[in-house]
Amino acid sequence: MQRSIADWRNIFRNLSEVGGWVEIIWLDDSDEWALCHDCELFEDGFSTEREAEERLEYLEERMR
């Protein structure tokens, strides 16, 4: 599932207000990488860690 840029603007804004950040994690049960914060999953379905990193870098760049 890929969220829109507008959704990500809200996510980054909300996380910045609480001092949080987006993390890249490995989902054991599904054998894929995901972008999340604590127990909230934002995007998943990445085959490699690098793919997830590239998506996060792209999103962070768009928020500048």
Residue pLDDT, tens place only, 10-64:
999 999 999 999 999 999 989 999 999 999 999 999 999 999 999 999 999 999 8
Q: How many structural domains are present in the chain?
A: 1
Number of C-alpha atoms within 13 angstroms, CB side, residue 6? 0
Residue 8 neighbours by CB distance under 10 Å = 21
pLDDT of residue 5: 95
Euclidean distance between CA atoms 2 and 45, whole angstroms: 9
Structural domain of 22: 5-62
Q: What is the largest CA-CA distance in the chain?
A: 34
Residue with tokens 């207000």: 17
